Amino acid sequence: MKMHRLALIMLAGWAASLAFSCASAATVLKGETVHIISEETGLATWETEDKGVYFRLTQISKEQAQAFMLARGMDEKSANDFAGTCVFMSVLRNDSKKPIKYCLAEWRYIPMENTPQLMLTKHDWLARWQPRNFSKPVKTAFEWSQFPVEQTFSPGDWNQGMTTYEIPPGSRFDVTYRWWQGGKLFEGTLRNVECHK
Q: Which of 6, 14, 25, 158 binds another protein (CB under 8 A)?
A: 158
Q: Is 19 exposed, middle or buried (0-12, 13-18, 19+ CB in 10 A)?
A: exposed
CA distance 64 to 51: 33
CA distance 120 to 107: 10
For residue 84, state whether it binds another protein (rule: CB under 8 A): no
DSSP letter assigned to residue 97? S
For residue 71, state whether it binds another protein (rule: CB under 8 A): yes
Q: Which of 156, 166, 184, 197 binds another protein (CB under 8 A)?
A: 156
Q: Which of 17, 21, 27, 38 binds another protein (CB under 8 A)?
A: 38
**Smallest separation, CB 126 to another protein (Å):** 14
Q: Give residue 100's identity as a one-letter amino acid code.
A: I
Q: Give residue 26's identity as a one-letter amino acid code.
A: A
Q: What number of chain residues touch another protein (CB under 8 A)?
A: 40
Q: 81: Cβ–Cβ under 8 A, 6 or more apart, which residues?
A: 128, 129
Q: Which is nearer to another protein, 10 or 67 (CB)?
A: 67
Q: Which among 161, 148, 151 is positioned nearest to 58, based on CA atoms? A: 161
Q: Which stretch binds another protein (CB under 8 A): 7-15, 109-117, 125-133, 156-164?
A: 156-164
For residue 157, state whether it binds another protein (rule: CB under 8 A): yes
Q: Which stretch binds another protein (CB under 8 A): 14-22, 67-75, 113-121, 174-182?
A: 67-75
- List the interface residues with another protein, window 86-145 (CB under 8 A): 89, 91, 93, 136-137, 140-141, 144-145
**Could you tell me the CA-to-CA distances from 72 to 22, 145, 160 in Å, in that order?**
37, 10, 18
Q: Give residue 87's identity as a one-letter amino acid code.
A: V
Residues near another protein (CB under 8 A) are 36, 38, 40-41, 43, 45, 54, 56, 58, 60, 63-64, 66-68, 70-72, 89, 91, 93, 136-137, 140-141, 144-145, 147-148, 150-151, 153-161
